[in-house]
Amino acid sequence: MISPMSRIRSAKRVNAFADSVFGEMTRLAKLHNAVNLSQGFPDFDAPVAVKEAACASIRDEQNQYAPPYGTKALREAIAGDFTARYGVPVIADEQVTVCCGSTEAMMAVMMGCIDPGDEVIVFEPFYENYGPDAVMAGAQPKFVRLRAPDWTFDPDELKRAFSNRTRAIVINSPNNPTGKVFTRAELEVIASLCLQWDVLAISDEIYERIVFDGRPHVPMASLPGMADRTVTTSGLSKTYSVTGWRIGWAIAPASLTGGIRKIHDFLTVAAPTPFMDAGVVALSMPPESYVRLAADYQSKRDLMLDILARHGFTAYRPGGAYYVIADVEQFGFATDTEFAQYLVKEIGVATVPGSSFYIDPASAPMTVRFCFSKKNETLIEADRRLGKLPR
Ligand code: GLN
């Protein structure tokens, strides 16, 4: 037994972090045989051509390290796709770094572009990694609230968050967990503050293809003056239903790419070669497939909203991504975590407590997040089980 006084103990930096709530809720879903609407991954198949491309690459012995920053073919495909859709010029060799998922890309960007002592502005509720990522980079996260029902921010509150210490701001649109799609006007407010204070925008656009009701996705890098001060992260996971492949990327100004690449190389060397090869095939899918993807998700959103309304939840209609936030105060539990525990154990539906997306859970509204990236039959089974909720 190692004594508690021993120096054989976890580093201080990890004490600040809780365990990831997503993995924990998926574990509880399995334990209680619940319908898993917690962690954000699809339970339906990935596109056949994309899977075949990965298998072909493995059979073709593409099983060794790829170039650290990603295969040339994938980097060119990422650059070409971004330029074609958004009109922003991207030079693959100078600006694109492929990482092990956009999660690693975000970490590599923070470590590569932020110094200890800097502040990083993060909108709250936030995807849980951003806080720990900033802390691991030695920076201090500073939170600005998005408020229901439309999850917009107060421009004055945002203005007050900027100072000479601010090095970067993290934007995630379409947003996890709220489904908010930032409007061009909102992005312009953020952009003008970035320009005023000489701040980097780190824009997580992993749900860029999942937008509803004819809304456009506006990339931060496409706003005037922002291409030189924006790092965009995205990846294959959500668009091609391959969250386990861990292929993500950062598109950065050339002046920041070197630093991001160094961090990425020392963290993971390179992303998996066969999945990068499959990524080239994925990115060449015809435009109609993305129209179908967004339409399919929109109908799942509508089904989810209908289910939640019938079971007495007040839900906030998402404009994109594949999550819905719903109020749970009316069920009479002390916290949303307690309600989520009850829901997974007694009702058989796993969700993520909304307070886990806030730095101070006690100050968060009482909500849970439902993921609707599921087969309709899965959502219908959740519907049946939610019928057991007392009314
Ligand atoms: N992005 C997914 C979610 O929000 C999964 C994240 C994870 O497992 N870390 O649920």
The atom number, within ligand 1, closest to the CA of 40 reads 10
What stretches of 323-376 adopt beta strand conformation (E)?
323-327, 349-350, 352-353, 367-371
The atom number, within ligand 1, closest to the CA of 22 reads 8
Report pLDDT for 15: 84
Gap from CA of 198 to ligand 1 centroid (Å): 31
Whether pLDDT at 112 is above 90: yes
Report pLDDT for 2: 83
Q: Read off the tokens for 194.
A: 């970035």
Dihedral of the alpha carbons of 158, 163, 168, 174, in degrees to the nearest 10: 0
Q: Which residues line ligand 1 (CB under 6 A)?
A: 20, 22-23, 39-40, 176
Gap from CA of 149 to ligand 1 centroid (Å): 23
Q: Read off the tokens for 230.
A: 């924006």
Distance separating alpha carbons of residues 325 and 313, to the nearest angstrom = 10
Q: How many CB atoms lie within 10 A of CB 381?
A: 15
Report pLDDT for 99: 98
> pLDDT, tens digit, for every residue of 4-37?
889 998 888 888 788 889 999 999 999 999 999 9
CATH topology of domain 12-46+288-386: Aspartate Aminotransferase, domain 1 (3.90.1150)
- Of the candidate ranges 15-24, 93-102, 283-292, 349-358, the one whose mean pLDDT is the lowest: 15-24
Tokens 């069920």 found at? 331
Of the chain, the percentage scoring pLDDT greater than 90 comes to: 94
- The residue whose CA is least distant from atom 5 of ligand 1 is 40
Whether pLDDT at 143 is above 90: yes
Mutation choice for ligand 1 from 17, 37, 39, 368, CB with most ligand atoms inside 8 A: 39
Distance separating alpha carbons of residues 89 and 86, to the nearest angstrom = 9
CATH topology of domain 62-283: Aspartate Aminotransferase; domain 2 (3.40.640)
Query: 3-state DSSP call for residue 105?
Result: helix
What integer is the mean pLDDT of 243-269?
98
Domain ranges of the chain: 12-46+288-386, 62-283
Whether pLDDT at 104 is above 80: yes
Whether pLDDT at 58 is above 80: yes
Partners of 100 in beta bridges = 247
Average pLDDT over all residues of the chain: 96
What integer is the mean pLDDT of 155-170?
98
